[in-house]
Structure 1
Amino acid sequence: MAFSSYSAGEKPFRVSMLLLGLLMSHIGASGAIGGCYGRNGNNLPSQAEVVSLYEGNNIRQMRIYNPDQATLQALKGSNIQLMLDVPNDKLQDLVDSAKAGDWVQQNILAYSADVKFRYIAVGNEIHPADAEAKFVLPAMKNVYNAIAAANLQGQIKVSTSIDTTLLGKSSPPSEGTFRTEANSYITPIIQFLAQNGAPLLVNLYPYFAYIDNPAQISLTYVLFTAPGVLVTDNQYQYKNLFDAMTDAHYAALEKAGAPNLEIVISESGWPSEGNPAATVENAGTYYRNLIGHVNGNTGTPRKPGKAIETYLFALFDENLKPAGTEQYFGLFSPSKAQKFSNNFRLKELLQVSDGL
């Protein structure tokens, strides 16, 4: 996990049944909300139960952080579209093209007739100074080549998931740029993505921006509750920090020579416990408004009308994570009970379409 004025990582939250209803809704071929399925707990339901939970609640997209075979088996025949991670500790292995081919064969091709793979995230939140950084792009290329050899490159996009600490400047959004020391790492990755029509995956958490700088960032700006425009950036006007952070990355991509590269928000969330700002009320407000914003298909000021595909982290509370907010990001408790209950009727809030 990364912490900075605009940072990211794997996080927790609570939402009400209203929010869960919004989570399950989709807006057709242009955008959707997905759910991240982390498994860092010793009291979680079986993988088959989890897939049934997704299906029963019309959650159409899933991110998993390693190729768990039981999860892949459980996904067979479902309509759930999958983002599958190559774990960071496997990146060096996949620099070997033969090992990459084996990995793709065992974890993707063996299931591709029955599992709807959408993205392969080759590494999560790797930083330029990390030992794994030099393995990311070669591993991406080898995974792509193995997928292309099976003629699946049009269906399955190969990318990597970054956090927002790679930006050197992000405010105002139009001045967004990657850090100088990150350029040699991220620029070739951006070029590879642009060449192959894949999006950049970004883990994006306004919550961490807020708690790092509450004196200058208003809570209404972070929670989508500002009554009007709070930030004017040339011709762009911002009512919420999520859009501003997203557009800062779009601006950085333009400066890196990839103005048409798309962004997928591969994680976003707000914790409900473990910090004064991590309250049930704040988490509920953030998720309700984020889901409504994404499903409204309004895009961002820099990319108006362009849906922001977004994955919420996470499905369950995970009790093996570090103590504090990290353990409380679940939409559901390990018992599969929704963490919030009130008078809302979930099924009446669902707006299911054909997905992406």
Structure 2
Amino acid sequence: MMLKIWLHAILLFYGLFFNADGAFVGIIIGTDVSNLPSPTDIVAILRARQITHVRLFDADPHMLNALSNTGIEVMVSVTNEEVLGIGELPSRAAAWINKNVAAYVPSTNITAIAVGSEVLTSIPHAAPILPSAMSNLYKALVASNLNYQVKVSTPHSMDIISRPFPPSTATFNSSWNSTIIQILQFLRNTKSFYMLNAYPYYEYVKSNGIFPLEYALFRPLPLVKQIVDPNTLFHYSSMFDALVDAAYNSISALNFSGIPIVVTETGWPWFGGANEPDAAVENAETYNNNLIRRVSNDSGPPSQPTIPINTYIYELFNEDKRPGPVSERNWGVVFPNGTSVYDLNLSNSGSLGANSSTVFCIARPGADESSLRDGLNWACGPGQANCAAIQQGQPCYNPNTLQNHASYAYNDYYQRMHNSGGTCDFGGTATLTSDDPSHGSCRFTGSSNSSRGGQLPPAPGPVAPLSGSSRNVVFHFGTVVAVTATLFLLDMNFRFSL
């Protein structure tokens, strides 16, 4: 007994600090696969790709055994078919915990339980019993002395949020308020997190052109298409951030705070039918790699900049047995034989600490010049970076290259804004580095070698970037707000939903 208590104490300590290295990107392992590899082979694939967090749609014993002694953090799931019974009978909840959690820890590092999957919208008749199911499972964890290691929550789709744009006015569909309030009370009382399934792919497709593809893929937007919340004036560089903020504001509208959001599903299909042109390899690769870079910045959305967005990508393998359109069967990032569908580096997640004073944001080598120029124009324009140093005759003008000028502008923006939600992404044209890019008399913002000692002076008005164009970039904020208001009006009859 003393040994068991000692082990739980160690796991509690570890659980309290598991995010010390920054936000993580995990992967979902679906099982509707014709030639699903063995659990041992799946774990080998996970370890080869340095994947540290997985979500299972069930609590398969073979998979849980294979994950033992790997250190990989595991989210197990109560299936929708099990929710009613667990909610009605505490004894059934206790049996579920004993069979699917207590039997495997501490060797298998189970840290969370997802109770059902989008229960409110997929099986609405079970909605009234969902809070009881969560409570019964938590009480069973308490009885097993596992409640500090294992969190209990339930994944929600964006469909329960009536209108997510602008994010500042987003609210839950009022028909669910009674159940959602009970769930939020539970999450707050147990110090758990809100599970959100957020898919910019679906939101983009259903917008019928209201929102540009670049916005869904984390790419820089032209000045005339900047997305700004007209109420808060928060700039949203990606639909992903806007969806997360819509959920935060919906929670706040019910007078709850302090509940972090974990994105339990997101991703992009890499193949689709004739009527699904945006389900493409290039878009899937762009979305997921940009997502990883975004999450790795260890910052939250504009309304909650200090809360990282831990995220799970859907999914490891194509679930070719799923019904529906062609795209439904083509979300996987790895083929069953272990080869990659496209280049994706999940090990980037959390590799650099965004709040470190020694981290700089620079232009990614080999980035597309057109995208790089858009990113530079945005940084020196609406991003309000201080670009004076890259003007002709100034210390950072040479080398007079797009790469050099973008690196300076990106870094100046990032050093000013990363504590307020600014990210080092710029549509995938930027990357973090611990190497100080300063050279000669050119000192990058935040450099310990800077004569300013790393202090950031007030940013002047926008200064025109010089690479590739001699034209001035003038940012008309009123124009952006007007465009945003137009988008909002167009959206009045449009409802984001999965």
The 5-angstrom pairing of residues 101-180 of structure 1 reads 101-127=94-120, 130-180=124-174
Count of residues paired in the alignment: 326
Change (3 A) 1:298 1:88: same
User: Aligned partner of 1:267: which letter?
Assistant: E
- Counterpart of 2:93, as a letter, is A
Say if 2:47 is the partner of 1:50.
no
CA distance in 2, matches of 1:80, 1:57: 12
Q: 1:335 to 1:255 in 2, by over 3 A?
A: same
- State the distance in 2 between where 1:135 and 1:30 align: 35
| Pair 1:254-2:252 in alignment | yes
Letter in 2 for 1:330: G
Following TM superposition, by how much is the alpha carbon of 1:184 offset from its aligned partner in structure 2, in angstroms?
1.6
Deviations 1:207-262 (A, max 9, x none): 10100013211111111112464223424211111101100100011111212111
> SS state of the match for residue 51, structure 2?
coil
One-letter code aligned to 1:340: Y
- Offset at residue 169 of structure 1 (A): 2.1
1:123-176 Cα distance to aligned partner (Å, 9 max, x none): 111126712212211110110001011222111100000100000121110001
On the 8 A contact 1:126/1:133 being kept in 2, the answer is yes
Over aligned residue pairs, what C-alpha RMSD do you find? 2.1
Cα contact 1:124–1:160 (8 A) shared by 2: yes
* Aligned twin of 1:311: 312
Whole-Å Cα distance in 1 between the matches of residues 205 and 95 of structure 2?
Answer: 43
Q: 1:230 aligns with which of 220, 227, 232?
A: 227
Q: Distance in 2 between matches of 1:132 and 1:349?
A: 39
Letter in 2 for 1:167: I
Question: Is the deviation greater in 229-238 or in 40-49?
Answer: 229-238
State the distance in 1 between where 2:284 and 2:49 align: 20
In the other structure, the counterpart of 2:62 is: 70
Alignment CA distance shift 1:350-1:191 (3 Å): closer
- Could you say which structure has the higher strand fraction? 1
SS at match of 2:235: strand
Mean Cα deviation higher: 71-80 or 232-241: 232-241
Structure 2 residues without counterparts, runs of 5 or longer: 1-17, 354-498
Tell me: CA distance 1:157–1:348, structure 2 relative to 1, closer, same or farther (3 Å): closer
In structure 1, how many angstroms separate the alpha carbons of the residues matched to 2:21 and 2:119?
Answer: 30
User: 1-side partners of 2:218 and 2:342: how far apart?
Assistant: 21
Unaligned residue ranges in structure 1 (runs of 5+): 1-25
Report what 1:60 is aligned to: 52
Q: Which of 82, 93, 102 is the equivalent residue of 1:90?
A: 82
1:266 deviation in Å? 0.1
> Aligned pair in 2 of structure 1 residues 312, 141: CA closer, same or farther (>3 Å)?
same
